[in-house]
Amino acid sequence: MNLIGTKWKPLILFHLLEGSMRSGILQKKIPGISNKMFTQTVRELEKDGLISRKIFPVVPPKVEYTLSDRGKSLEKILRSLDQWGLNDCQN
């Protein structure tokens, strides 16, 4: 729970199940997250080995995030949480 037990981490990880994503696109998929919190959260996830960051040497800078193998191992848990949330909203 220490690795994914915050408000934003599961959301970021869940969206990365779709595949690699540029930072701006990923952030737009998470309404309500500030730039500061997004940056802090992806840095923590990267430090914990759940995502990887690739920086492309272009102007403007392009940063892309991808789930690591360790992050991919959480897929079943993340999808179960999503399904639980959908079921709970219907009740």
pLDDT tens digits along 37-74: 999 999 999 999 999 999 999 998 899 999 999 999 99
What tokens does 57 get?
């040497």
Q: Is 29 exposed, middle or buried (0-12, 13-18, 19+ CB in 10 A)?
A: middle
Model confidence at 2, in pLDDT bands (50, 70, 90)?
confident
Distance CA 80, CA 17 (A): 13
- Residue 17 in contact with residue 38, Cβ under 8 Å? no
Dihedral of the alpha carbons of 83, 2, 66, 15, in degrees to the nearest 10: 30
